[in-house]
Amino acid sequence: GAVVSQHPSRVICKSGTSVKIECRSLDFQATTMFWYRQFPKQSLMLMATSNEGSKATYEQGVEKDKFLINHASLTLSTLTVTSAHPEDSSFYICSARGLAGIDTQYFGPGTRLTVL
Amino acid sequence: QQQVKQSPQSLIVQKGGISIINCAYENTAFDYFPWYQQFPGKGPALLIAIRPDVSEKKEGRFTISFNKSAKQFSLHIMDSQPGDSATYFCAASRAAGRRALTFGSGTRLQVQP
């Protein structure tokens, strides 16, 4: 099956700093990647949809200047949390979908962000 | 607006029993309905998925039942095992899965030995 990796798996940072999370599709080309956020014991909430070579589409209520998404290649998307604050602490998960005709979304293992 | 409602919130089943989780959706434009399994600290893993043109799909011990008129679908786990203990999410998507997934609230399954 298709594999999606995320790096780092865990990150702890100080309030006010920026953190970059990478999402890579290892064995397929991902035309679309999605970024989700999950709070403890809750469901996954979509943050943004990222298509290779174009600007990300953010969900209502998600600050695009705070959560910068870049999808520069068919195998890599990055999420940068800028000026992180404790309320940004969460589990961030990406998923990737392959080329046209493939409906399955494959999820990465997630990144646990803790902002002190 | 919660577009996919999932129940129960938690479920305890004895080993060898059948686990049943239900979901209902509102948006008739949804045309792809996957189920995901998630272990603590891990990303969701696809279990099984169904399109609305079929009423049932079975893969091993996992079966999806789909009722288009009622806008409901369910996951049945046969012969439940302790290793099945995890959180299960139903989801729905438009455009044959090309759009983002809308997830249900999740069901914590505990299979007792």
Q: Which residues 37-56 of B are in CB contact (within 8 Å) with A?
A: 41-46, 49
Cβ neighbours of residue B35 closer than 8 Å, sequence gap 6 or more: B21, B46, B47, B48, B49, B62, B64, B75, B88, B89, B90, B91
Q: Mutation target for A interface from B2, B33, B48, B103: give the one with most A CBs within 10 A.
A: B103
Alpha carbons A46 and A111: distance in angstroms, whole number: 15
For residue A103, pLDDT beyond 90: no
The span from the CA of A97 to the CA of A95, in Å, is 7
What per-residue confidence (pLDDT) applies to A2?
A: 79
When pLDDT is averaged across residues B5-33 and rounded to a whole number, the result is 95
Confidence at residue A1, expressed as pLDDT on a 0 to 100 scale: 66
CA distance B3 to B56: 22
Count CA atoms closer than 13 A to B4's CA, side-chain side: 28
Confidence at residue A102, expressed as pLDDT on a 0 to 100 scale: 60
CA dist., res. A46 & res. A60, Å (int): 10
pLDDT mean across residues, chain A: 91
Q: What pLDDT is recorded for position B96?
A: 61
Mean pLDDT of B67-88: 97
Q: Does A70 touch chain B (CB under 8 A)?
A: no
Beta carbons within 10 angstroms of residue A115's beta carbon: 20
For residue A6, the chain B residue with the least C-alpha distance is: B43
Flag whether pLDDT at B2 surpasses 70. Answer: no
Cβ–Cβ gap A93/B103 under 8 Å: no
Structure tokens at A11: 């990150």
Decide if B98 contacts A32 (C-beta within 8 A). Answer: yes
User: Least CA distance to A57: which residue of chain B?
Assistant: B100
Cα-based angle A34, A113, A13 (whole degrees, multiple of 5): 135
The pLDDT score that the predictor gives to residue A58 is 95
Cis peptide before A40 (omega within 30 of 0): no
B110: chain A residues, CB-CB within 8 Å = none
- pLDDT number for residue A52: 82
Give whichever of A49-63, B11-25, B43-57 has the largest mean pLDDT: B11-25
Residue contact A103–B104, C-beta within 8 A: no
Sort out which chain A residues have CB atoms less than 8 A from B43's CB and list them: 4, 6, 93, 95, 107-110
Q: Looking at the complex, does the CB of residue A109 fall below 8 Å from at least one CB of chain B?
A: yes
Q: Which residues of B touch A100 (CB under 8 A)?
A: 98
B41 to chain A nearest CA, in Å? 7
Compute how many other C-beta atoms are within 10 angstroms of the C-beta atom of residue A83.
12
Query: What is the reported pLDDT for A78?
Result: 95
How is A4-26 classified by DSSP, letter by letter?
A: EEEE-SEEEE-TT--EEEEEEES
- The more confidently predicted of residues A51 and B57 is B57
Judge whether residue A100 has pLDDT over 70: no
Judge whether B25 is closer than 8 Å to chain A, CB to CB.
no
- Residues B109, B85 contacting (CB under 8 angstroms): yes
* pLDDT at B33 (0 to 100): 93
Residues of B in contact with A93 (CB under 8 A): 43-44
SS3 call for B47 = strand
Residue B97 pLDDT? 57
Please name the residue that has the structure tokens 């920026």: A18
pLDDT (tens digit per residue) in A40-91: 889 999 999 998 888 899 999 999 999 999 988 889 999 999 999 999 999 9
